[in-house]
């Protein structure tokens, strides 16, 4: 027995050639459309190249070492809610590791904060070179919750751990000629790859007038949120001067020199019209490119007015009586 | 238009071109743009406005150099996308960043050259976007329309200056865009000179 031949579909069901070709054309165009749209979207995304998340996630649990805090709740603490740890440690300006805000968190792992020696010299009776571990063991660590105002008009609230710079200065005994304190960051392009490009005059340097350096608000910080400083925040030792713009608070310090003359500071040398030696937070003196009258607290939607001396006027304004703060910005 | 050999091209550009903007609008409110979402949105919209504007300016040079015809068909779409991003950039700045504080906005636009040039670039793009239709090409007549739309080069140059002035120290990236713009302009100027010389030569051969 032979099977009957398979029945051909009636000719009415056969797709007309024209429709068949149009469908192919349509499919082809749909494919080209999708491919082009995806390529354009991807290309623009790459060019916009804004990483929305840092590569590594950080959290207070990342480093189990807890620093022993001796004193907390000092008279200068702000009771404003602290900026989340993740934001404090992933949104940084630290050009030694790159220019984007999340570059330091991504690339600062090359920094080796221990062992680390700090030179203290210049106009002091007791110059010395000391390992940072020993240096920090000399002083009780204090918890200080400070506002931090960046010159770029954003701000944070950061619980620092550290000790007053004044304690260290008193220990090395400034001479009667000492009028300024100069600070220097590590110079090592191996550890700080950003230094391979001469965009700033490396190493980063900063300075304070001696009375500013001796002010009890001025802190040498070794930690934040109860933990040792993450590299991107300036491990192992950094300055914190809460009434000045953030760039004054120099990170990863290797040298502290007391001087007779006003030290040359990095940003002032790079752009003297935009960044002065004093750099006190001042809503009345705009940056040439933007207003300093208000700021965005990281995590907030609305801007808030910027306060003179970042809200520390009561403590520090007397340091500048008689000075024209428009001239000495 | 109906018989375009590539009917998918412009729709694909619109969808692909707008997707970064849509992504920002989705990620922003969900807190996925990092610690400073407004700054991230500001930078990305500004950068893409400049990129798309340069892409639209590259269409004619591409036709001149490579002989391709398709760039001419996407020029308007690219220009309008650039305008869309420029407007988004301005809105992020004025509404989200400055909270529509008029006195602060006014001070920025009038006193800070960095903002002034950026704003000027946006203002220059407005008449170009408005006259981007075929009807407007006919109404103005092609030569006049063409002359008007050369303003796109001025807007792009202002955009590059705005970008250079924004970065604190490393101007490499904005200068790359500046170099691209210079190259595109050089090709156009070269072509114009070549045409003029050809016309002069033709006139010399056939004295009136």
SS (H, E, C) B159-199: HHHHHHHHCCCCCHHHHHHHHHHHHHHHHHHHHHHHHHHHH
- For residue A10, being part of any structural domain is answered with no
Asked whether the beta carbons of A280 and A241 are under 8 A apart, the reply is no
Number of structural domains in chain A: 1
d(CA A320, CA A274): 20
- For residue B195, being part of any structural domain is answered with yes
- pLDDT tens string for chain B (208 positions)? 445 778 899 999 999 999 999 999 999 988 888 899 999 999 999 999 999 999 999 999 999 999 998 999 999 999 999 999 999 999 999 999 999 999 999 999 999 999 999 999 999 999 999 999 999 999 999 999 999 999 999 999 999 999 999 886 778 889 999 999 999 999 999 999 999 999 998 888 876 5
* Residue A91 with chain B: CB contacts under 8 Å: 34-36
**Residues shown for chain B:** 208
- A224: tokens are 């934040």
Range of the domain at B67: 9-205
Asked if B182 is an interface residue toward chain A (Cβ–Cβ < 8 A), one would say no
pLDDT over 60 (residue A51): no
Asked whether the beta carbons of A158 and A145 are under 8 A apart, the reply is yes
Q: What is the pLDDT of residue B208?
A: 57
The CATH number of the domain holding residue A176 is 3.90.420.10
* Residue A275 with chain B: CB contacts under 8 Å: none
* Residue A44 with chain B: CB contacts under 8 Å: 16-17, 19-20, 48, 51-52
Asked if B110 is an interface residue toward chain A (Cβ–Cβ < 8 A), one would say no
In 10 A of CB A224, how many CB atoms? 26
Asked whether the beta carbons of A158 and A224 are under 8 A apart, the reply is yes
Which conformational region is residue A232 in: left (phi greater than 0), alpha (psi within -120 to 50 degrees), or beta? alpha
- For residue B3, being part of any structural domain is answered with no
Range of the domain at A269: 60-320
* Residue in the structure block whose two tokens are 């001149």: B64
- For residue B4, being part of any structural domain is answered with no
Contacts of A148 (CB under 8 A, 6+ apart): A155, A156, A157, A158, A240, A242, A246, A249
pLDDT over 80 (residue A57): no
Instruction: HSE, CB side, 13 Å, CA atoms: give it for residue A322.
Output: 1
Among B165, B166, B169, whose Cβ lies nearest the Cβ of A200? B169
Model pTM score:
0.86
- For residue A32, being part of any structural domain is answered with no
* Cβ–Cβ gap B36/A47 under 8 Å: no
Mutate to test the interface with A, among B8, B9, B54 (most CBs of A within 10 A): B8
* Cβ–Cβ gap A288/B112 under 8 Å: yes
Asked whether the beta carbons of A228 and A63 are under 8 A apart, the reply is yes
ipTM of the modeled complex? 0.86
Asked if A296 is an interface residue toward chain B (Cβ–Cβ < 8 A), one would say yes
Output the DSSP codes for B146-160: HHHHTHHHHHHHHHH
Q: What is the pLDDT of residue A47?
A: 84
Number of structural domains in chain B: 1
Comparing C-alpha atoms, which of B14, B140, B139 is closest to residue B82? Answer: B14
Which residues of B, range 8-27, sit inside 8 Å of A by Cβ? 8-9, 11-13, 15-17, 19-20, 23, 27
- For residue A243, being part of any structural domain is answered with yes
Which residues of A, range 7-26, sit inside 8 Å of B by Cβ? none
- For residue B1, being part of any structural domain is answered with no
- For residue A2, being part of any structural domain is answered with no
- For residue A14, being part of any structural domain is answered with no
Coil, helix or strand at residue A71: strand
* Mean pLDDT of chain A, nearest integer: 90
- For residue A22, being part of any structural domain is answered with no
Segment holding B75, helix H or strand E: helix B70-91
pLDDT in tens, A164-213: 999 999 999 999 999 999 999 999 999 999 999 888 999 999 999 999 99
d(CA A237, CA B163): 35
Comparing C-alpha atoms, which of A239, A221, A200 is closest to residue A96? Answer: A200
- For residue B2, being part of any structural domain is answered with no
From the number of C-beta atoms within 10 Å of its C-beta (0-12, 13-18, 19+), residue A262 rates as middle
In 10 A of CB A219, how many CB atoms? 24
Among A52, A91, A199, whose Cβ lies nearest the Cβ of B169? A199
């Amino acid at each position: 027995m032979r099977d009957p031949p398979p029945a051909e579909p009636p000719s009415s069901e056969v797709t007309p050639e024209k429709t068949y070709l149009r469908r192919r054309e349509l499919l082809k165009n749909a494919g080209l459309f999708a491919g082009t749209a995806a390529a354009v979207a991807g290309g623009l995304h790459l060019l916009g190249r804004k990483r929305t998340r840092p590569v590594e996630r950080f959290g207070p649990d990342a480093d189990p070492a807890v620093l022993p805090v001796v004193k907390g709740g000092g008279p200068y603490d702000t009771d404003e809610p602290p900026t989340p740890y993740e934001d404090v440690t992933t949104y940084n300006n630290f050009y030694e590791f790159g220019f984007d805000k999340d570059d330091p968190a991504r690339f600062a792992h090359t920094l080796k904060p221990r062992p680390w020696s700090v030179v203290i010299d210049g106009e002091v009776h007791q110059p010395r070179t000391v390992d940072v571990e020993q240096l920090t063991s000399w002083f009780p660590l204090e918890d200080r919750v400070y506002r931090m105002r960046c010159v770029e008009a954003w701000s944070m609230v950061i619980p620092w751990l550290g000790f007053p710079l004044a304690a260290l200065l008193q220990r090395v005994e400034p001479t009667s000629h000492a009028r300024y304190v100069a600070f220097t960051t590590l110079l090592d392009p191996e550890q700080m790859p950003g230094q391979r490009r001469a965009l700033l005059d490396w190493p980063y340097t900063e300075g304070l007038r001696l009375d500013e350096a001796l002010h009890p608000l001025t802190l040498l910080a070794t930690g934040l949120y109860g933990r040792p400083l993450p590299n991107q925040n300036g491990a192992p030792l950094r300055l914190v001067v809460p009434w000045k713009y953030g760039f004054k608070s120099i990170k990863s310090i290797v040298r502290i020199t007391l001087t007779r003359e006003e030290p040359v500071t990095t940003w002032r040398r790079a752009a003297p019209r935009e960044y002065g030696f004093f750099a006190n937070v001042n809503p009345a003196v705009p940056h040439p490119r933007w207003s300093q009258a208000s700021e965005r607290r990281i995590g907030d939607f609305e801007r808030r007015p910027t306060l003179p001396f970042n809200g520390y006027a009561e403590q520090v304004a007397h340091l500048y009586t008689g000075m024209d703060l428009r001239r000495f910005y | 238009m109906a018989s375009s050999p590539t009917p998918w091209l412009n729709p694909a550009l619109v969808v692909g071109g707008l997707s970064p903007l849509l992504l920002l609008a989705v990620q922003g409110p969900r807190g996925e743009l990092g610690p400073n979402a407004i700054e991230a949105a500001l930078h990305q919209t500004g950068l893409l406005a400049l990129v798309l504007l340069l892409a639209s300016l590259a269409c004619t040079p591409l036709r001149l150099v490579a002989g391709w015809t398709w760039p001419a068909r996407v020029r308007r779409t690219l220009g309008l996308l650039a305008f869309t991003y420029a407007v988004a950039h301005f809105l992020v700045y004025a509404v989200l960043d400055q909270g529509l504080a008029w006195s602060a906005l006014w001070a920025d636009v009038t006193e800070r050259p960095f903002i002034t040039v950026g704003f000027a670039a946006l203002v220059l793009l407005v008449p170009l976007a408005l006259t981007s239709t075929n009807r407007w090409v006919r109404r103005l007549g092609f030569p006049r329309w063409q002359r008007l739309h050369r303003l796109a080069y001025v807007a792009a140059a202002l955009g590059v200056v705005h970008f250079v002035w924004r970065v604190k120290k490393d101007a490499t990236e904005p200068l790359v865009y500046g170099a691209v713009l210079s190259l595109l302009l050089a090709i156009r100027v070269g072509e114009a000179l070549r045409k003029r010389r050809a016309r002069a030569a033709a006139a010399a051969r056939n004295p009136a």
